[in-house]
Structure 1
Amino acid sequence: MPGTEAGQPRTAEETAKRLCTCVIAHVQNDEERAHAQAALDNALKTNDAHAVLIACMQLMQPCPARDEPVTR
């Protein structure tokens, strides 16, 4: 959901330092988010269940490289 992203890096330099090491690489910036969203939209239109799963995993949170840890 828009506005629910936690602790987005403030600069491109911060983003470059914090690369995603997850098995499925999460989006790291707005351009990658747009590509993953377009891939998800296409997968839904073509009924490609595997592509839907991959795109959803790319868009999911949290990613330790992208998101600040949340303490509760």
Structure 2
Amino acid sequence: MRGAEADRPDGADESTERPCTCVIAHVQNDEERVRVQAALDNALKPNDAQAVLVACMQLMQPCPARDEPVTR
């Protein structure tokens, strides 16, 4: 679907590999945490329930890429 692509941060390219492979990508560093927290704050102002849910999921733990390996 044209126009539905997620915006990439400046300097990120297609070859950049994210360590998080979860369905909802968790934050991996402090810069991403600040950006997602700002998105959550913005979603709370107009009571955008879907955006709040996505931002909360991104902030939730555990993330196998960020935390200790989990044996399954």
Q: TM-score over 0.5 for the alignment?
A: yes
Structure 2: gaps of 5 or more residues = 1-15
Aligned to 1:44: 44
Relative to its length, the structure with more helix (as a share) is 1
Structure 1 runs not aligned, ≥5 long: 1-15
Query: Which runs of 4 or more aligned residues in structure 1 lie more than 3 Å from their structure 2 counterparts after TM superposition?
Result: none
How large is the RMSD of aligned CA atoms in angstroms? 1.9
TM-score, normalised on structure 1? 0.70
Establish whether residue 21 from structure 1 lines up as the match of residue 21 from structure 2: yes
Q: Which has the higher contact order (CA 8 A, sep 6+)?
A: 1
TM-score by length of 2: 0.70
State the SS of the aligned residue for 1:21: coil
Which SS does the other structure have where 1:65 is aligned? coil
Between the aligned residues of both structures, percent identity stands at 84
* Greater Rg by CA: 2
State how many pairs are aligned: 55
